[in-house]
Amino acid sequence: MSLVVMATGGTGGHIYPAVATARELMARGHQAVLLGQRGGMEERVAAEQNLAFEGVDAGKLARSGQGRPDPRELLRAVRGVAEARAFLKDAQPGAVVGFGGFASLPGVLAAQSLGLPTVLHEQNARLGLTQRLAVGRARAVGTAYPHVIGLPAGKATLVGMPVREERLPRAEALTRLGLQDGPLTLLVMGGSQGSLALNNAVPEILRGVFGTAGRSPEGPVQVLHSTGPRWLEEVAPRVADLPWYHAAGYVDAVAAWAAADLAITRAGTGTLAEAAFHGVPLVMVPLPESAENHQFHNALSVQEAGAGRVVEQANVSGALGGAVLECAASGTRAAMREAALGRSPAGAAGRFADLVERYLR
């Protein structure tokens, strides 16, 4: 069996598919290690998941005020490639798998410079910048969408979005999260780092919708709001008088999805895939600054499937409350849950692992 290196990092949308794929490969007898930015979110997630981790430097592919790449970040990226190259030369993995994001680039480019097989996973419908830099020498690309703009058709294999295929009984999930069994549970999740826009708007909107007692027309409600670690101190005091509103900097995503009856989210592919796997209807507020406005198109596909409602960020104050009430109604919610389960990516980690195994040395 082989060692497989998962080059990933930056955000949960890149990290958690790598975790899911690593788990699948390990179940097949392979070894797996995550390689990403030293001190980044990926290092924390690897520790939480009891996965091996190798940290390197990684420069963001950002622009300076003059519209040119920041030379300091380029220097960090070059240093990261050298560090990754030293690690890979010693470890001699069977393949390196790149999941996109700036933190994945040192590992993938280092692997290609050493002639090691590389396989990519593209989560979005448009090939990302880091993936464009690596796709030419990649052996194959697994995709979450049937058609990916910028990707040569001969390299694309539709596998879906790998998610952690773990489910908890709802009662156990509620206990883990310190929530009650009985009220309708509404999850607010703005991505792995949180969303400033959702953090700013949602608490007051839900206060207006459910009142200080936390009740919908059909009964009691409780909210679990994952603010992102950096925003908790700002959000928590604003909901301290609402016993039904629970703000947390970071939540166990498997437990949170298992507990949720309905969720307010952004519309990254990873979030939408996890919601579908757990059958959770969504009220989606797409990130308007997402590249090529891809989150809006992601969300629109969920709405067209009957599994959620789209509320554009510019209309949040006027439209979010009504959308939440509409989707919280038991009949609507049951139909949306069935539609969500119909979009489930179950088996994607296995299909992508099959693709990776084809190119192992």
Indicate the DSSP class of residue 142: E
In whole angstroms, what separates CA 152 from the centre of its chain? 25
CA distances to 15, 23, 39, 255 from 49, in Å: 11, 10, 16, 14
Is 214 annotated as contributing to ligand binding? no
DSSP structural state of residue 151: S
**Helices first, then strands: H and E counts in the chain:** 14, 14
Bridge partner list, 247: 225
The residue among 24, 21, 269 whose CA lies nearest residue 144 is: 269
Cβ neighbourhood burial of 121 (10 Å; 0-12, 13-18, 19+) = buried
CA distance 223 to 243: 10
* In the block, residue with structure tokens 């949602």: 202
Is the CB of residue 296 less than 8 Å from the CB of residue 267?
yes
3-state secondary structure 235-263: HHHHHCCCCCEEEECCCCHHHHHHHCCEE
Determine whether the annotation assigns residue 123 to a binding site. Answer: no
Binding site annotation covers 295? yes
Rounded to the nearest 5 percent, the helix, strand and coil shares of the chain are 50, 20, 35
Q: Does 124 belong to an annotated binding site?
A: yes
**Is 72 marked as a binding-site residue?**
no
Report yes or no: 26 and 118 within 8 Å, Cβ to Cβ.
no
* Partners of 351 in the β-ladder: none
State the binding site for UDP-N-acetyl-alpha-D-glucosamine: 11-13, 124, 164, 192, 295
Instruction: Give the residue numbers of the binding site.
Output: 11-13, 124, 164, 192, 295
